[in-house]
Structure 1
Amino acid sequence: MPLSQAYRPHPAILTLGDAFYDVVAPADFPKSIIRFWNARWAAQIGLGELDQAERVAHFARFSPLPDNLPQPLALRYHGHQFRHYNPNLGDGRGFLFAQLRDPADRLLDLATKGSGQTPWSRRADGRLTLKGGMREILATEMLEALGVNTSKTFALFETGEELWRGDEPSPTRSAVLTRLGHGHIRIGNFQRLAYLGETDNIAKLTAYCLANLYNENPAKDPAANAERLFDLVCAATARLAASYLAAGFVHGVLNSDNIAISGESFDYGPWRFATYWDEDFTAAYFDETGLYAFGKQPEAIHWNLAQLAGCLALICDPDRVQASLLGWPDRFQAALTAALVARLGVDPKTPDEDRALAAVLLTALKSKAVTIDRLFFDWHGGRDPGGEAYSAPPFRALAAALAGRDRPPTHDYWSDPAPCSMPIEEVEALWAPIAANDDWSLFHAKLAAIRRMGEAMVQNSSA
């Protein structure tokens, strides 16, 4: 197979040993119809020259990549699901397929969703609906464009099976998805080890995460490693929570098995983008109490961090991790300020000035006079659009706070009549022609629009 120098295999997970995973086999699907291939990320990791047959072989049939994992691995973990502890989790419809280094020398995992049953599937079929795969592509592309630290959807293949689901018309079409992300390890991996009392393995996993997820040299002292890792995870997850709010995004299922140690967002099920700044807005119909509502996402992530702190406290000074946990809300507030200023596309100033701008901006958002996306689009670069829609006091205060921060947008996206958004109604509209006529044209047009927005945001932020 044609590989460039950018392909740098590194199956680091094998250094942990088989106490952390189970060797599994992929499902044998009746069909392999490629529906999405992330060409830009394939090029970055040295897989851009794969032909059609090779893409099928490696990302629909899952034959091993050269010098990589010889067999797929289903990782073992536990987790709190809506605050209820579940010791019967683990990779139930996915596995770790390959590992490699990215251009910045960070470890990347290629992991699957819908690739078949594993020892952790319980009574589920281990499959993914095609609509679910399409939704994950839209989520990851939109979040990447908005600057959120997210996994990337790498490939999606339709697999030719009929699936029965209770939350969409059935039978429905099936798919297998491969995601690319910095680390397959989540808080739940540590919870399982703590539950089993395997403190030596907690220390081993801690060192693995430091070395491979944060590119730091682990110390000989497990306690020092645990304290350092927890501090890094606190910083990364504070930025993640802040970026969710600045993007207007609701993940929907922030269980502890869905919080990556790298602080990268992943695994998109009932996600939504909030139209207005409504802190009670939920994404999942089954989130009846609003535990993971838009405005409660920081609290949810903080609660999950407390579970990680309890695990790491088994090998270090509990007071040290507790201090980092207590300091997390301040880190989140600072990260939220930075994320809001960045999405506005203006230069940061002093911390006090940026906090004042963020406070005024939040007041304007909470007025719900315009949608989240519309406000950031109209005011991007510090411009004051004026007009009747923005004549109210919250927007006049915003204009005053932005005085002297002009950074005129240069990309022609900022002259469009409306921002690129992703309301749930549009997701359904994109799926309708696929379901009815296998027409993917609207879907691909939307992906092009999302990437154009992302280019515009990057261009203005680096101006």
Structure 2
Amino acid sequence: MPVSPAYRPDPRFPDLGGDFSDPVDSAVFPQTTLRFRNDRAAAEVGLEGLTDAEWVAHFGRFELLPGQPGPLAMRYHGHQFRSYNADIGDGRGFLAAQLRECPQAASARSASDGPNNDGRLLDLGTKGSGTTPWSRGGDGRLTLKGGMREVLAATLLETLGVPTSRAFSLIETGEALQRGDEPSPTRSAVLVRLSHSHVRFGTFQRAAWLGRADMIETLVEHVRSLYHPEVAAGDAPGLLRAVVAASARLSARWIAAGFVHGVLNTDNLNVTGESFDYGPWRFLPHYEPGFTAAYFDQFGLYAFARQPEAVFWNLTQLAGCLKLVADAGPLTEALNGFGPAYIRELRVAFLMRLGVLSAGEAADQQLLDATLALLREGGEALRWEPLFFDWFGGFASSARALQGPRAGLYQGATFEAFRAALFAHETDRPERLEHPVFARPEPEEMLIDEVEAIWQAIDTVDDWTPFTTKLAGLEGARLAYGFAHQA
């Protein structure tokens, strides 16, 4: 391939050695039909110049990108619905490449991410690329529907300002898959995601389960130096504080976006605080604290409002691993920072979603409480996403909201309390309201009926128009909201 000057390979995970991964080969697929390529993400790592044929060669047949050592299936354990499983790892995916983001992408990110003159280290990881030593009898494949769903979810999460991995590539692979939880046979695909890190809480759990303090020390230094360089060498409690802060921010952004991950196991949370590896995700249709995404989550362990609790529980498991190399006291102190950090981040997230500036902690908390109260009172009639869309910008959007399709819902004492709290905050970047997106009556949402309709068009008549139309709509919303790039 013609190498762009912006392409900078930097494979660092192999430095950890053979205790942490296994070399693997990709499956050989009967066909490779390109269905989605994320050129905006590719431009951040110098790969936007690939032709479609080159793209398929690298992300469908997994010919090595320059300077990359070859695929690695990562080893990890995990609590799955709080039952420990020592028999998991990358069972249908691998780390395909690691590379640095280009300087332009680094400078475009929020200053709150901290300076990084070299650009962040990013991973290209796969899903559905074939069997590995950790497949446990599975076929190592991904359904096309599952790949399509991840593209849609990751795109909307980025649009709404949630830290997330991004769907980088989706290629249909021409196999008929049998699945017990959906109509079969069903079409197959291989997905590639771009993420800041694939090091999971479960990566630490495996080392602790083996009783290997040396592996924990190696992981701490690896993660600290590459992803949290503000932490001093050897400072395991400091690293935990950084992961706690990132996880609190992630949890708050999920809540503000009305997002339900579905499967918050310790192998599905990573050290950089990004959404990734979500399975049966959903976005809330309306305020419902007990809303679950997974049909098999029969007790609501990972319900919408319980997600911060689930993330904190997982952080305690990570802290337990770090006890092999650090005293319990400082680790407990780091964990205790989650609750206050989460509340702070939730206020910030709601201000962001409503497009207004902070008016001080008390006023910001009042707005958070008033927004939730209005959503609660509105019930099924007031959908989650439209409220934030209608009132984005605060006072500057009052005429738009009160003349829109939900005008009849905006009345009464609870609404007046919300409006008073909102109007106490100045509009953040009011020029954003000039975007044509805000002239429309409805926001971009991603409720389950729409997802199923998009898949139905693909599955029955191979019509990808609803899929591409939806992505175009989400791109318009991303530009209109102008939330800082966090992924």
Q: Same fold (TM over 0.5)?
A: yes
In structure 2, C-alpha distance between the alignment counterparts of 1:390 and 1:406, rounded to whole Å: 20
2:423 pairs with 1:403: yes
Counterpart check, 1:437 vs 2:461: yes
- The match for 1:242 is 252
Q: Which runs of 5+ in 2 are unaligned?
A: 107-118
Q: Who is 2:199 aligned against?
A: 185
Per-residue CA deviation, residues 282-301 of structure 1 (Å, 9 max, x unaligned), is 00000000000000000000
Name which of structure 1's ranges 58-67 and 381-390 shifts more when overlaid on structure 2.
381-390
TM-score after normalising by structure 1: 0.96
Corresponding residue for residue 130 of structure 1: 144
The question of 1:101 aligning with 2:93 is answered: no
What is the CA deviation profile of residues 169-205 of structure 1, one whole-angstrom value per residue up to 9, with x for unaligned ones? 1000000000000001000000000000111110111
Superposed, 1:30-429 pairs within 5 Å as 30-68=30-68, 70-103=69-102, 104=106, 105-216=119-230, 218-219=232-233, 222=234, 224=235, 226-367=236-377, 368=379, 369-382=381-394, 383-384=397-398, 385-386=401-402, 387-407=407-427, 408=430, 409-429=433-453
User: Take 1:77 and 1:425, find their aligned partners in 2: how far apart are those partners?
Assistant: 35
Q: Return the offset for 1:327.
A: 2.1
Amino acid paired to 1:434: I
Tell me the distance in 1 between the aligned counterparts of 2:319 and 2:424.
Answer: 43
TM-score normalised by length of structure 2: 0.92
Unaligned runs of 5+ in 1: none
Superposition deviation, residue 348 in structure 1: 1.4
Write the distance in 2 (CA, Å) between the matches of 1:295 and 1:459: 24
SS of residue paired to 1:275 = coil
Structure 1 residues 313 and 150: alpha-carbon distance in aligned structure 2, compared to 1, 3 A threshold: same
Alignment correspondent of 2:112: none
Does the 8 A contact of 1:106 with 1:214 survive in 2?
A: no
Asked if the contact 2:359/2:424 (under 8 Å) is kept, the reply is no
Identity %: 52
Residue 406 of structure 1: how far off its partner (Å): 4.3
Task: Quote the Cα distance in structure 1 between the aligned partners of 2:278 and 2:320.
Answer: 27
**Contact persistence 2:91–2:132 (CA under 8 A):** yes
Residue 42 of structure 1 contacts residue 48 of structure 1 at CA under 8 Å; is this kept in 2? yes
1 CA distance for matches of 2:259 and 2:307?
10
CA contact (8 A) 1:162 1:174 kept: yes
Matched ranges for 1:3-14 at <5 A:
3-14=3-14
After the TM superposition, which of the residue ranges 95-104 and 254-263 deviates more from structure 2?
A: 95-104
The verdict on how the C-alpha distance between 1:57 and 1:101 changes in structure 2, with shifts beyond 3 A counting, is same
Q: What do the CA deviations read for 1:240-259 (whole angstroms, capped 9, x no partner)?
A: 00000000000000000000
1:460: Cα distance to partner? Answer: 11
Give the secondary-structure state (helix, strand or coil) at the position aligned to 2:393. helix
- Write out the 4+ residue segments of structure 1 that deviate beyond 6 Å after TM superposition: none
Aligned length: 456
